[in-house]
Structure 1
Amino acid sequence: MNSPLPETSPAPSPVPPALPDAARRRWLYAGVAGAAAVAGVAWWKFQPHAMESEAEKALWAMEFETPEGTALPLKPYLGKPLLINFWATWCAPCVEELPMLNAFYREQAPKGWQVVALAIDQPSSVRKFLAKLPLAFPVGLAGMQGTDLGRSLGNLTGGLPFTVVLGGEGRVLHRKMGQVTAQDLQQWAALR
């Protein structure tokens, strides 16, 4: 007669030995260093970098076509504070900030402020967008010319939105990568 085999439970898995304190510290330091490196790269990516030496001069010589097909030279804007916003219809933060920029323009235009939006986008997309959300300030169809201009002004990654604030004498006073805030506009309005 066969006797039943005794039930056996599976052998417990060996528990890996705990890391010594020194090894744990090394892993912790490596994790902190890795996180710092990622944060550093993100900071670098979203900060305006040095402008090309002739960028301001080149900016004032530029001309763009408007969605209506007319010329939009930048030179006539020299002499008063100017906010230039680089944007695209496919850029959600760009689209979000446009109504705020429009309100800024309406409020500050009597005080001498000017605003120009340079669309880094397809002309048909910009026309369709502006039919739904008309803007009180001029819009230029910038395309690659606008991307190159943004890079010369310190936007090396070509990220959008990108905003440049120029004083009346034509010098860059401020540049911002990313979405504009109400606080930004308030601070810039105090600049002249």
Structure 2
Amino acid sequence: MKRRNMLYGAAAAVAGLAGASVAWWKFQPHQLAPSAPADTGLLGAAGSASDAFWRLNFDTPDGKNLSMSSFRGKVLLVNFWATWCPPCVEELPLLDYFFQENKDKNLQVVGLAVDQPSAVRTWLQTKPLNFPVGMAGLAGTELSKSLGNLSGGLPFSVVFSAAGELIHRKMGKVLPEELAQWAALK
């Protein structure tokens, strides 16, 4: 009986340690390699995920249409975020400043909110952004996965070249050094 209890205790400890390790890894910011495969997911099987991305349209918080194709020809930084995600809302002022400094340099920032429209509208009333925001909703999680966000976590950013190719992926908060590198892209 004593040995059985020790075995159960050891098994429980191993399971707890494994669970804690997975949780720790999941919530660490990971840089995804630019060459990570992009599953087409919601974007469909025809063509690459980046090709299909350019055909997408989103509603803006004020009900207008935000067409990704309107940004073709510019370096495009797309940031997936949510109002309930502390690192997301912490990085938005940095992204907004980056957009303001670079908007005349053929560079565009777009935020895709993986959130309820009412929460996004309320948040933007108190902290407006100068770059466009699209309402991706829960489907934004699948979209980000199709672009290489293997864990589905937030914040997640992708950078498209002016030619429309997906060239960078970033899991976690962006750093000023990364923004400076992306600003130099053509």
TM over 0.5: yes
* Aligned AA (1:182): P
More deviation, 46-55/162-171: 46-55
Contact 1:45 1:157 (8 Å CA) reproduced: no
Choose the corresponding residue for 1:153, options 119, 136, 147: 147
Match of 1:127 among 98, 121, 125: 121
- Contact residue 81 and residue 114 of structure 1 kept, 8 A: yes
Partner AA of 1:81 in structure 2: V
Aligned residue pairs total 156
The yes-or-no answer on 1:51 pairing with 2:35 is no
Three-state SS of the structure 1 residue aligned to 2:152 is coil
Which whole-Å CA distance do the structure 2 matches of 1:145 and 1:138 have between them? 18
Deviations 1:91-122 (A, max 9, x none): 00000000000000000001111010000000
| Aligned partners of 2:29 and 2:171 also within 8 Å | no
Work out which of the residue numbers 172, 176, 181 in structure 2 matches 1:182: 176
Q: Tell me, in whole angstroms, the C-alpha distance in 2 between the residues paired with 1:45 and 1:185.
A: 16
TM-score scaled to structure 1, two decimals?
Answer: 0.76
Q: Map 1:1-192 to 2 at 5 A.
A: 38=21, 42=25, 46-48=30-32, 49-52=36-39, 54-192=48-186
- Cα 1:45–1:131 shift into 2, 3 Å: closer
Q: Secondary structure at the match of 1:82?
A: strand
SS at match of 1:116: strand
The answer for the alignment partner of 1:30 in structure 2 is none
Query: Do the aligned residues in 2 keep the contact of 1:85 with 1:118 (CA within 8 Å)?
Result: yes
Residue deviations 1:32-67, cap 9 Å, x none?
Answer: xx99xx59x828983434212621011101111000
Mapped contact 2:29–2:173 kept (Cα < 8 A)? no
**SS at the partner of 1:61?**
coil
Please list every run of 5 or more consecutive structure 1 residues that lacks an aligned counterpart in the other structure.
Answer: 1-33
CA separation in 2, counterparts of 1:69 and 1:131? Answer: 15
Separation in 2, partners of 1:151, 1:45: 15
Query: Which one is further off, 76-85 or 145-154?
Result: 145-154
- Secondary structure of residue in 1 paired with 2:138: helix
What is the distance in 2 between the residues matched to 1:87 and 1:110?
24
Q: How many Å separate the matches in 2 of 1:47 and 1:80?
A: 23
Instruction: Say which one has the larger Rg.
Output: 1
The answer to whether the Cα contact below 8 Å between 1:55 and 1:149 also exists between their aligned partners in 2 is no
